[in-house]
Amino acid sequence: MSSPKPKANRLINETSPYLLQHAYNPVDWYPWGDEAFDLARAEDKPLLVSIGYSACHWCHVMEHESFEDEETARTMNENFVNIKVDMEERPDVDHIYMSFVQMTTGRGGWPMNVFLTPDKRPFFGGTYFPPAPRYGMPSWQQILLSIAEAYRQRRDEIDHSANEIVGELRRLSMVDEGTTLSNALLDDAFASFERSFDAKNGGFGGAPKFPQAMSLEFLLRHHYSTHDQKALEMTRLTLDKMAFGGMYDQLGGGFHRYSVDNVWLVPHFEKMLYDNAQLARIYLHAFQVTGDPEYRRITTETLDYVLREMTDESGGFYSSQDADSEGEEGKFFVWSEPEIDDLLGDDAHAFKFFFDVSNEGNFEGKNILNRPRSIDSAAAALKIEPFDFFSLIENAKRRLFEVRETRIKPHRDEKVLASWNGLMLAAFADAAGALGNKDYLRAAEKNAEFLLGKMLTDSGRLFRSWKAGEAKLNGYLDDHANVADGLLALYQATGDISYFQNARSLVDQMIEYFWDQEAGGFFYTSNDHEELVVRTKDFTDNATPSGNSAAADVLLRIAKLTGDDRYERFAVATLRLAARQIARYPQGFGRALSTLGSHLHDAGELAIVGPRDNELAKVALSSYLPTTTVALSSDPDKDAAKVPLFEGRGRSDGPLAFLCKNFVCSRPATSSAELREMLAANEKGSNV
């Protein structure tokens, strides 16, 4: 006799894949909202808010161990009003309570479990708790019973503690303008990166190692502005080690979340859209600087992975893929030696030598493919011609990939988030322009069409999240800033003025709804957002750029394109608020440092007039010009009304390129050779 189907809880009506994963738990879960808080007040119960995301391995572990357990669920239901939150949909909620957990425990992460009073004040929190006491940790049941008893018997203490905590959280969001914006701030930041750099394995610090794309972008820009070879060497070593290690999917392209060791070998196997967006962009920029074909390969393989695995037919990009499949972390990606021998036959020996495959394996008896040696050195060691060896490896990779495609794939979170889509839009737009790739251009244009058609409210404001035809939740600061950034990148690649207009509209809304009129800087939530216990203002660049860093960046570029210095004033005020924090901990401000570099080392504006895909545009878009604002126009008389840079540029028999500073322009370049010479002179600091 089959067991009855479990009863669904209130999460069954949600669209978030993470919340739906918990819809049949015996825990009486509520989504975040008034219904749960009203019930907590009516029944005088504390709330348990459990926060995670779909690709989180330990979130799945705690669900299986505790939230699927009938006895544990009974304890939770009797003593608490229980709320499940998808941190990717509600980063505002996550940020507040993560700050609390980090402040009170010294660490953070997901799953995060926080206990609140009915008016949303936190009083106890932590991350993962086991089902039984171990590793010096109490069990989840012990935590639940202890909190329930304290709430009944020591309410005054809890209220006093919660009030103090809210005060501390408010102080965390206060910033003081301090350090002057200067080259010294950039130089000191570079020295800090240099001190923490792993000169053997690349990256910064020890295990675990995260792919700090924004920090690498700062190093690449520092090299561009100062010609410091050390900055380029640090960037290249890190990019090489990441690309050849197990953190990169050697068969399917794309990067896993991070490396659990310090040599980039064993990853945490989840794949996040935001990592692959930022890493595709830094590898592309490294290719533009160095011409190294390996960087181009990593860029295209990563973007091709996104097109193949992470793109909705509507044009939106999905959020993530799990680390687990069939209940095992990494199972989809790893190989045993006998599997490879059976599949490759005579080619197996060369493949195993190149990809570090052994009988004992390098991960729980299996093999994570990685490249400890180059094509040329491996070919020489095996006494095979390099071209023949390359062909052998590529054919073998295709065969293994085809077999891997028949395996059960990790779960995919098909939620589309505006902010992360903005990051990926920028990557596709940059790659389309730099590589002349029409597929990437189509992907970028379709994504922009999706964002502007499916994720805008009737009043033109952004939604945060979309899934299965439904857009929901107010957009946050990073949604507006990153989508504006992506639209500006697409405008740069196409010259289509509508992308610029939409980017400017989002920036204007950002100022109207998020700017702090009293203290400056941008709040994370809009001024008409749901009231939370504190309205946060974050400047730290973590896995994704902070909203303030991205906002300052797009504001500077909008200022250059419009000639309206009001935008620049907002950007500079934002950077000044972050300056003291940047000076204390530069590694947490990679995007802010790049933006500051653009402000201090402004190389001017490059206006190109002529038909789309003209030779001058190709030169500009294929060049690494991080501090130059590029604008294209096939109809300068029409576009000048929106972008004054094109005023008076008129028409000519062929394309023209004007290099300008403060709207004073050079004589136009008319050939590719002239433009390259002009850009090279400008890079060296010559006056235009």
What would the pLDDT profile of 102-115 be if each residue is shown by its tens digit?
A: 988 888 889 999 99
CA distance 214 to 505: 26
CA distance 505 to 456: 12
* Model confidence at 189: pLDDT above 80: yes
- The pLDDT of residue 108 is 87
- The pLDDT of residue 688 is 37
Q: What is the mean pLDDT of residues 575-579?
A: 93
pLDDT digits (tens, 9 = 90+) for 328-383: 999 999 999 999 999 999 999 999 999 999 999 999 999 999 999 999 999 999 99
CB contact set of 656 (below 8 Å; sequence gap of 6+): 608, 609, 610, 616, 649, 668, 669, 670
**Tokens (6 digits) for 683:** 């890079």
HSE-CB for 435 with a 13 A CA cutoff? 27
> Is 0.85 surpassed by the pTM of this model?
yes
Q: Strand, helix or coil at 298?
A: helix
* 309, amino acid identity: E
- The pLDDT of residue 6 is 78
- If you write DSSP's letter for every residue of 302-336 in order, what string do you get? HHHHHHHHSB-TTS-B--EE-SEETTEETTTT-B-
Whole-number percent of the chain with pLDDT over 90? 84
- The pLDDT of residue 526 is 96
* Model confidence at 2: pLDDT above 60: no
- The pLDDT of residue 327 is 87
Q: What is the mean pLDDT of residues 454-477?
A: 94
Cis upstream peptide for 111 (omega within 30°): yes
- The pLDDT of residue 176 is 66
pLDDT digits (tens, 9 = 90+) for 399-429: 999 999 999 999 999 999 999 999 999 999 9
- The pLDDT of residue 1 is 40
Strand 470-474 vs strand 122-126: parallel, antiparallel, or unpaired? unpaired
Burial category of 194 from C-beta neighbours within 10 Å (exposed 0-12, middle 13-18, buried 19 and up): middle
pLDDT digits (tens, 9 = 90+) for 601-627: 988 999 999 988 899 999 999 999 999
Q: How far is CA 451 from CA 129, 276, 400, 503, in A?
A: 39, 19, 36, 12
Q: What is the mean pLDDT of residues 2-27?
A: 88
Phi, psi of 180 (to 5 degrees): -65, 145
Strand ranges in 569-645 using DSSP code E only, listed in sequence order:
605-609, 629-633
- The pLDDT of residue 687 is 36
Q: What is the mean pLDDT of residues 287-303?
A: 98
Strand partners, 197: 204
* Model confidence at 243: pLDDT above 60: yes
Strand partners, 657: 608, 669
**Tokens (6 digits) for 655:** 């394309």
- Among 104, 103, 106, 124, smallest CA distance to 114 is for 124
Q: How far is CA 437 from CA 431, 443, 483, 555, 679, in A?
A: 7, 10, 21, 28, 23
pLDDT digits (tens, 9 = 90+) for 627-675: 999 999 999 989 999 999 888 877 667 899 999 887 678 889 999 999 9
- The pLDDT of residue 3 is 52
pLDDT band at 178 (very low <50, low <70, confident <90, very high): low
pLDDT, mean over the chain: 93
Burial 534-545 (b: 16+ CB within 10 A, else e): bbbbbbbbeebb
pLDDT band at 432 (very low <50, low <70, confident <90, very high): very high
Strand order in the sheet with 470-474: 416-417, 463-467, 470-474
pLDDT digits (tens, 9 = 90+) for 579-595: 989 999 999 999 999 99
